[in-house]
Amino acid sequence: MKIDEIKSLCDKYSIRPSKKFGQNFVVDARITRMVVDAAKLNADDCVVEVGPGLGALTQELAQKVKQVVAVEVDQKMYRAATELLALYKNADIVLGDILKIPNKKLVEMLHNPTHPPSPGLRPPSPLGRGEGEGTPYKVVANLPYSITSAVLRKFTEQEPKPELIVVMVQKEVAQRVCASPSPGLRPPSPTRGEGIDSVPFPLGRGKKGEGMSILSVAVQYFGKPEIVAYVERSAFWPEPEVDSAILRIELGDTSLFAQDKKRGVPGAPSTHNFEKHLFQIVRIGFSSRRKQLQNNLSAGLKMPRDKVFEALKRAGLSARARPQELSVENWIALARLL
């Protein structure tokens, strides 16, 4: 949508863009198309959108896929989106907090739409009892900045997971998600992919050498993140204080999580238990980024330093290692020894 159209609709529905809800509207249609293109959509896809706003992205999605469920937390925005998207019978606008709706419920919504399918569209397959866990869906959204990390953790960690996530997020968050272990690393040269500037695993200006975080470990364990393109703040109204990025995360059989699930984990009764153990270790490890990992783990696990030292040594890590210096594989190896 163009900025004049957005302002007119905001006036019509008495909407004042909220910083609390991160309401910044894309005013460049090319950006919306880049998001859609990055999702590699087809006519059989089911899509969950977070924060549809005035429905610009929702319209593009509804024209390409079988079913869209768009979750909106703002009542005025919900009313506007419901009216503006009334002609799209394969798009359901849901009033609610995305962080409070289980993924399984979202899948049920996709397969039990409020509206009957539009002519020419194949109706979604009925969702039977016990089904849904393996039902493929994608998440495509211009995410509100305030809930970016929580939404990414929700869809990468909670079952059933989407097969693909394509979201617009703050540039800094995208770079954190795609970070590599520090220190002294440099972002790779941009590569060209599918007609869109693609920068896999960059650290970005001003963040070089910061390395890994809990968020980057979590996302990279469950999926493969990639920055598709950077988006300047001038592409939004109201203009945010920071630039953005289109982030794509593939959650497929090649992820470290999927590999562990297939082969099982030595020393752990189940993959789920190991996952909980792994992220307990990661959280304790990152409890103080400036301290050596050995100190954090010894204090947090109430474990003698010599035992932590031995685990670090067996994992091939320095006794002076800091949490941001470890790769996801390093964390997995260490968790199996603690």
The binding site for S-adenosyl-L-methionine consists of 24, 26, 51, 72, 97, 142
Binding-site residue positions: 24, 26, 51, 72, 97, 142
What is the rounded (10 degree) CA torsion for 173, 177, 183, 184?
-70
Match 């990390």 to its residue by tokens: 149
Q: How far apart are CA 113 and CA 89, in angstroms?
A: 9
Q: Which of 247, 36, 18 is nearest to 149 (CA)?
A: 247
For residues 327 and 212, the answer to whether their CB atoms sit within 8 Å is yes
φ, ψ (nearest 5 deg) of residue 278? -55, -50
Peptide bond before residue 323 is cis, with ω within 30 degrees of 0: no
Strands 67-72 and 91-95: parallel
For residues 273 and 252, the answer to whether their CB atoms sit within 8 Å is no
Q: How far apart are CA 87 and CA 206, in angstroms?
A: 46
Q: Which two tokens stand for residue 9?
A: 């609709």
φ, ψ (nearest 5 deg) of residue 259? -65, -45
In order of 124, 176, 179, 203, 319, the CA distances from 209 in angstroms are 47, 11, 9, 7, 20
